[in-house]
Amino acid sequence: MDTKLPPYATTGERLWFYGFRVICGLIFFFLMAPIVVVIPLSFNAENFFTFTPGMLAFDPEAYSLRHYRDFLTNPDWQQALRNSMTIAPVATLLSVSLGTLAAIGLSQSHVPFKGAIMAVLISPMIVPLIISAAGMYFFYSRVGLQGTYWGVVLAHAALGIPFVIITVTATLVGFDRSLTRAAASLGANPVTTFFRVQMPLILPGVISGGLFAFITSFDEVVVVIFVGSAQQQTLPWQMFTGLREQISPTILAVATILVVVSIGLLTVVEMLRRRSERLRGMSPG
Partner 1 sequence: MSDATAGNLSQAAAEARRDDAAQTGPMLAADGRPLKQSLNRALRAQKLRALALIAPLLIFLLVTFVAPILDMLFRSVENQIVSETLPRTVIALEDWDAEDLPSEDIYAALAYDLHAAVERRIHTRLGSRLNYEETGLSSIFRRSGRGIDDVGEGYADQFIDLDPAWEEPATWIGLMADPDWIAEQAAWAATETEAREPVFQLAPGIADLLPETADAYRSFALALQAEARNPDSPTTEEPWNTVFLALYRDLSAGAEVGAVEGPEFARAEVVRLQEAAAAVASFTPVDLRATFADIDEGWAEMPIWTTIQTFSDPYTAGYFLAAVDLQLTPSGIEVVEENQRIYMLLFQRTMVLSLTIMGLCVILGYPIAYLLSNLPLRTSNMLLILVLLPFWTSLLVRTSAWKVLLQQEGVINDLLVWIGLVADDARLAMINNQVGTVVAMTHILLPFMILPLYSVMKTIPPSYMRAAKSLGATNWTAFRRVYFPQSVPGIGAGCILVFILSIGYYITPEIVGGRTGIFISNRIAFHISDSLNWGLAAALGSILLALVLVLYWLYDRIVGIDNVKLG
- For partner 1, the binding residues in 88-147 under the rule CB under 8 A are 94, 98-99, 101-102, 104-106, 108-112, 117-124, 126-140, 142
| Of 216, 192, 285, 256, the residue nearest 63 (C-alpha) | 256
Using rule CB under 8 A, residue 270 touches partner 1: yes
Indicate which single residue of 92, 163, 168, 204 sits in contact with partner 1 (rule: CB under 8 A): 163
Residues 207-246 that bind partner 1 (CB under 8 A): 208, 212, 215, 218-219, 221-222, 226, 236, 239-240, 243-244
- Rounded to whole angstroms, how far apart are CA atoms 33 and 11? 32
CA angle 264, 91, 171 (to 5 degrees): 65
Between residues 99 and 232, which has the closer beta carbon with respect to partner 1? 99
Selected range binding partner 1 among 57-65, 68-76, 177-185, 252-260, rule: CB under 8 A: 252-260
Minimal CA–CA distance to 165: which of 224, 216, 226, 225?
A: 216
Closest C-alpha to 217, from 235, 205, 231:
235
Question: How many H-runs (helices) and E-runs (strands) does the chain carry?
Answer: 13, 0
CB of 159 closer than 8 Å to CB of 217 = yes
Rounded CA gap, 52 and 81, in Å? 29
The minimum distance between CB 114 and partner 1, in angstroms, equals 9
Least Cβ distance, residue 200 to partner 1 (angstroms) = 19
Q: Which of residues 33-72 bind partner 1 (CB under 8 A)?
A: 34-35, 37-38, 41, 48-51
**Total Cβ atoms within 10 A of residue 218:** 24
Min separation Cβ 28 and partner 1, Å: 5
Question: Considering the rule CB under 8 A, would residue 203 count as an interface residue with partner 1?
Answer: no
d(CA 33, CA 35): 5
Kindly write down the DSSP assignment for every residue of 1-32, as one continuous string.
--SS--TT--HHHHHHHHHHHHHHHHHHHHHH
Could you write out the DSSP letters of every residue in 23-92? HHHHHHHHHHHHHHHHHHHTTBSSS-SS--HHHHTT-GGGB-SHHHHHHHH-HHHHHHHHHHHHHHHHHH
Q: How far is the CB of 263 from partner 1 (least distance, A)?
A: 7
Least CB distance from residue 69 to partner 1, whole Å? 19
Q: Which stretch binds partner 1 (CB under 8 A): 26-34, 66-74, 176-184, 195-203?
A: 26-34
Q: Which stretch binds partner 1 (CB under 8 A): 17-25, 59-67, 69-77, 174-182?
A: 17-25
Q: How far is the CB of 195 from partner 1 (least distance, A)?
A: 15
# residues contacting partner 1 (CB under 8 A): 98
Least distance between partner 1 and beta carbon 43 (Å): 13
- Of 60-68, 70-78, 157-165, 176-184, the window that binds partner 1 (rule: CB under 8 A) is 157-165
Provide the minimum distance between the beta carbon of 163 and partner 1 in the complex, in angstroms, as a whole number.
Answer: 7
170 binds partner 1 (CB under 8 A): yes
Residues 6+ apart with CB under 8 A from 81: 235
